[in-house]
Every structure is written in structure tokens, then in C-alpha cells.
Amino acid sequence: MNLREVFNIRPEYRALMSALFAELREMHPRFRPDVIKGGLLISAPGARVPFHIDRTDTMLWHLRGRKRVYVYPRGAPVLSEADVEAVLMHPFSDDLPYESAFDKRAQVFDLEPGEVLCWPVHTPHRVTNLEGLNVSMATEYTCHDVRVRNHAMMFNGLIRRRLGLTPSIEDSRGAGLAARAGLGFTARKLKLLPRVPPPAAAPAAGALQHLQTEA
């Protein structure tokens, strides 16, 4: 069960999340998220979240139970830029094609209550609950650089699929990156982005589908 944005809706939870992020800003003055959403994840022992990426930066604040988080490298052969673009252009699905061979490249974290985990945006990950009823707070937040990266990758996705080009976000810097982001933003607003199928098949029975809202 995902009580999406409960930390934005309920005043007592909103105060808690605001205090947390105020502390983070104090510790890191350049940390300036402009949209912060907080949800409460409640799931059974053994529940799984399939292999996926998030469209925003995420922090997973674990509160109860034990869970194992597999965090994979953000690049080939685990992840292609074309798959990231497909997620960004899909209205809701964030799941990616998974192969068990990827696991030898994963960092594995067993989270206990009171621990928090985060990773760079678009880093692939999956989760398996180990023990007990699991309760976590997931905060999704967007900073300017992530918004620029997402829109630049939408533009790359457009020209990859419409013109057969092979752009890479890693080759874009400064004004070139900003121009791509501007074009991606415009294409999104004008609904010019191609309709893409979900990057991965529907999750197996028993798995929790990971769905996110747009940043």
C-alpha cells in the first residue's frame, strides 16, 4: 500500500517532512529541492518492488521491518539511455527489463528501522522485504539539475525514435544541455513526444508495481 503524498496532505506529517528537509538544507546549502513529495509505504513480509528507476531523486527512510534493497550501476549493460528515455516518456510505468545476471553488479543494503538510503537519479533498483510488516517513508524531490536532465533525455528520446539518431546525455554539457532540455520541455508541452510502450513487461504476480508521477 502506498499512501502517496500523505506527508504533503496531513499537516502533522508535513511538519515532520519540512523539518527533515530543513535540516538537510542546513547541512548542505547547495541542496535546493523545489518540489518535495512524501509517501508512506506499507507492505507485507516477502513483498517485492520490481527493477525500476525513479524519475526524481528519492530517499527511502525505513521505519519498521527489514528490507533488502539492490542498487545497480546507472549504465550499460544494466541500463540503457533508451530505456531511461522510454520511462520518462511513458505516462506512468517505471519498470525496466530485469536479468538475474545484473545482480552480480548490484550493491545490496539490508535496511533496519531508522536507516535511510538514497542514490543518484535514474539509478536502477529493486526491493525485497525480508521480515515483518514493512513501513517506510519515501520522499521524492526534484532539483533544477534533475529537471534539466529529464527534459534533455526526453528530447534525446524523441530524436532517437523519430530520426534514428543515437544521442547520449553524457555528451551534453552547459548550453548544449540547456538547449536540449528546452526543446524537450517544449516537445512535452506540445505533446510531440512519441507514445512508447512500457519499457518492461507487467510485473509477476505478488510483486508491487512501481508507479511514479511526473517530476
Site for Fe ion contains 140 (CB under 5 A) = no
Question: Interface with Fe ion by CB under 5 A: which range of 52-60, 85-93, 155-163, 197-205?
Answer: 52-60
Stretch near Fe ion under the rule CB under 5 A, chosen from 54-62, 84-92, 177-185, 194-202: 54-62
Residue 134 phi, psi dihedral angles, 5° rounding: -100, 130
CA of 162: how far to CAs of 33, 165, 170, in Å? 33, 8, 20
Residue nearest Fe ion, Cβ-based: 54
If binding is defined by CB under 5 A, does position 54 make contact with Fe ion?
A: yes
CB of 17 to Fe ion, least distance (A): 18
Region binding Fe ion by CB under 5 A among candidate stretches 20-28, 53-61, 80-88, 186-194: 53-61
Distance separating alpha carbons of residues 145 and 5, to the nearest angstrom: 23
Residue placing its CB nearer to Fe ion in the complex, 138 or 187: 138
Q: In the complex with Fe ion, which residue's Cβ is closer, 54 or 85?
A: 54
CA distance 170 to 55: 17
Q: How many residues bind Fe ion (CB under 5 A)?
A: 1
Residues 126, 54 contacting (CB under 8 angstroms): no
User: Closest approach of Cβ 37 to Fe ion, in Å?
Assistant: 13
Indicate the pairing of strand 125-142 with strand 107-111.
unpaired
Contact indicator for 68, 106 with CB cutoff of 8 Å: no
Residue number, 54 or 83, with CB nearest to Fe ion: 54
Residue 125 CB, nearest distance to Fe ion (Å)? 6
x-or-dash string of contact with Fe ion, 12-51, rule CB under 5 A? ----------------------------------------
C-alpha cell at 91: 505516462
For residue 54, the minimal CB distance to Fe ion (Å) is 4
**Distance in Å, CB of 127 to Fe ion, minimum:** 8
- Least distance in angstroms from the C-beta of 22 to Fe ion: 24
Query: Is the Cβ–Cβ distance between 167 and 160 less than 8 Å?
Result: yes
Neighbour count for residue 158 (Cβ, 10 Å)? 21
Provide the β-strand partners of residue 64. 135
Measured between alpha carbons, how far is residue 37 from residues 9, 13, 65 in Å?
Answer: 10, 11, 23
Answer yes or no whether residue 95 interacts with Fe ion by CB under 5 A: no
Q: Write out the three cell numbers for 84.
A: 531511461
Which residues in this chain contact Fe ion in the complex, by CB under 5 A?
Answer: 54
